């Protein structure tokens, strides 16, 4: 695999980053995951805009222009022959001479930029979407700026492990009794034809797939209600689903052991998946 590190395209085995990089020492960095379908990037613009916002919120100086970033994405897709898959992009606050809590001077310590591809043949035709996934609920104990897409993913990883230990696919996180989001996706329920999802605040990541799916839903005359919901309300909903760049729209058929509807994907989530895959290509 060819990867990109600070301006160079290299075989993955030759790519190097300093042990003093603040991404490595302090999880001081941000990332984006963009999907590739038919060899083309899905919603690159949305990801580029969110990346810039994450960098701005953390006072990080963007070392690469949007046009150059697009070029790197396209070049990696080409070099690695990706038809279906993902591109991972990470920008960390670089490597000062020593470990120090204070941010280094961005003029002398440039950010580290790393990109690599993940080949996922069959991503769009994922058979899991036919039967849906099962989730458990866990307490959301992440920091308070989940709108910034940082590389601090330890708790979401632990959530995935808790889900695995419970024999299910993912975890929905709950704060003050209300669902925030999945470990790496946004969460939705459907009741009486209405699509309900948590509003965009600092409590959740403002998903790029979320924005597209809500727009497509409204264009298809579906009603969208942005409000908090509980696990109990979700268990009694007609349908539930998640969205993300890697799962697109994925039905959820069980929450904490309680079946949603008849335990099979309903009509809204599969339809939204179809619309999303058609319209975003």
Q: What is the DSSP string of 174-232?
A: EETTEEEEETTBEEEEEETTEEEE--SSTTS---HHHHHHHHHHHHTT-EEEE----HH
Residue 12 has what DSSP assignment? G
Q: Exposed, middle or buried: residue 154 (CB in 10 Å: 0-12, 13-18, 19+)?
A: exposed
Q: Which is nearer to ligand PDD, 109 or 135 (CB)?
A: 135
Q: Minimum distance between the CB of residue 92 and ligand PDD, rounded to whole angstroms? A: 16
Q: Minimum distance between the CB of residue 123 and ligand PDD, rounded to whole angstroms? A: 12
How far is the C-alpha of 40 from the C-alpha of 17, rounded, in Å? 28
Q: Which is nearer to ligand PDD, 109 or 171 (CB)?
A: 171
Q: For residue 219, report the phi and psi dihedrals to the nearest 5 degrees.
A: -65, -30
> Using CB under 6 A, which of the segments 17-25, 61-69, 207-215, 232-240 binds ligand PDD?
207-215
- Do the Cβ atoms of 214 and 188 come closer than 8 Å? no
Residue 181 binds ligand PDD, judged by CB under 6 A: yes
Q: How many residues of this chain interact with ligand PDD, rule: CB under 6 A?
A: 14
- Do the Cβ atoms of 254 and 263 come closer than 8 Å? yes
Q: Which of 10, 15, 33, 58 binds ligand PDD (CB under 6 A)?
A: 33
Q: Which of 52, 119, 235, 246 binds ligand PDD (CB under 6 A)?
A: 246
- Catalytic residue status for 149: yes
Residue 90 binds ligand PDD, judged by CB under 6 A: no
Catalytic residues: 149
**Binding site residues, ligand PDD, CB under 6 A:** 33, 181, 184-186, 205, 207-210, 243-246
């Amino acid at each position: 695999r060819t990867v990109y590190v600070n301006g160079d395209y290299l075989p993955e085995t030759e790519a190097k980053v300093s042990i003093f990089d603040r991404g490595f020492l302090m999880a001081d960095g941000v990332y984006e995951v963009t999907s590739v379908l038919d060899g083309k990037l899905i919603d690159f613009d949305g990801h580029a805009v969110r990346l810039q916002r994450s960098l701005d919120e953390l006072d990080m100086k963007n070392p690469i222009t949007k046009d150059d970033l697009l070029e790197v994405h396209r070049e990696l897709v080409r070099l690695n022959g990706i038809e279906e898959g993902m591109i991972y992009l990470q920008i960390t606050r670089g490597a000062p001479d020593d470990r120090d809590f204070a941010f280094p001077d961005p003029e002398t310590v440039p950010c580290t930029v790393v990109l690599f591809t993940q080949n996922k043949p069959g991503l769009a035709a994922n058979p899991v979407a036919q039967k849906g996934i099962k989730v458990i609920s866990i307490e959301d104990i992440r920091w308070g700026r989940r709108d910034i897409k940082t590389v601090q993913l330890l708790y979401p990883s632990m959530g995935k492990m808790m889900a695995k230990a419970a024999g299910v696919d993912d975890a929905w996180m709950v704060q003050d009794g209300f669902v925030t989001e999945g470990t790496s996706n946004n969460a939705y329920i459907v009741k009486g034809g209405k699509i309900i999802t948590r509003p965009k605040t600092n409590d959740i990541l403002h998903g790029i797939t979320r924005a597209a799916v809500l727009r497509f839903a409204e264009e298809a005359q579906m009603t969208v209600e942005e409000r908090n919901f509980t696990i109990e309300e979700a268990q009694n909903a007609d349908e539930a689903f998640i969205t993300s760049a890697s799962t697109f729209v994925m039905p959820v058929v069980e929450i904490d052991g309680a079946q949603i509807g008849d335990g099979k994907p309903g009509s809204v989530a599969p339809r939204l998946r179809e619309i999303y895959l058609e319209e975003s290509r």
